[in-house]
Amino acid sequence: AYRCRSAFKLLEIDDKHRILRPGQHVIDCGTAPGAWAQVAVQRVNAAGSDPNAPTGFVLGIDLHHISPLEGAALLPFSDVTDPKTQKKIQEMLPEGKSDVILSDMAPNATGVREIDQLKSIQLCLSLLDLAQQVLEPGGTILCKFWQGRDGSLLQKRLMEHFKEVKLLKPPASRQESAETYYLAKSYKTGSAVQSR
């Protein structure tokens, strides 16, 4: 059983967009309680359940406690936006590299919509710093954000660093929620970005 219904969101997105494959290294930002990490462990074969497929790696990070999960390395009580955490993430990754960064992070809601949206965009922007350190060229970011005025800034920044950026809108039935995802594929190499 999954630890949270959010598992089905990731399953739905992955079935449609084919992000996770056996053997990949995945960073899951905002892991607790761990449903996305469960899905990632299955899809990249991080627990080695399929002996005929390559074994992947999943690293989960959260501000809060995360219950142990077979097949996943965990970094609880850590802030993904903190450079010290980002360094620790790099150290924990095999060869210091990852193929996919997932983020279902959500800020503590203040109740003021504009502030919450801005904080959610800032969480996503911090993933670009992390990507610069650990993401393989050709890699992928899937990140949740709360749609609002600053969404276009996030899109612009993602487009500078990825060849393909898609906005994944929630199904019509859930449109009242401002929760949306960006899927950014084909991370450009460091040199390609610097030469701009």
Does position 128 interact with ligand SAM (CB under 6 A)? The reply is no
CB neighbourhood size of 124 (10 A):
25
Does position 124 interact with ligand SAM (CB under 6 A)? The reply is no
Q: How far apart are CA 193 and CA 132, in angstroms?
A: 10
Query: What is the number of residues in the chain?
Result: 196
The pair of three-digit structure tokens given for residue 63, joined into one six-digit string: 């501000």
Q: Nearest approach, Cβ of 132 to ligand SAM (angstroms)?
A: 17
- Residue that has been written with the tokens 């999943």 in this structure: 58
Which candidate in 144, 156, 169, 188 is catalytic? 144
Q: How far apart are CA 196 and CA 151, in angstroms?
A: 23
- Contact stretch for ligand SAM (CB under 6 A) within 2-10, 87-95, 150-158, 165-173: 2-10
Report the site for ligand SAM in 39-78 (rule: CB under 6 A). Answer: 61-64
Q: Give the SS3 label for residue 37.
A: helix
Q: Is 126 left (phi over 0), alpha (psi -120 to 50) or beta?
A: alpha
Binding mask 12-31 for ligand SAM (x = CB under 6 A): -----------------xxx
Binding mask 73-112 for ligand SAM (x = CB under 6 A): ------xxx----------------------xxxx-----
Amino acid at 110: T
144 is catalytic: yes
Binding stretches for ligand SAM (CB under 6 A): 3-4, 6-7, 29-36, 61-64, 79-81, 104-107, 123
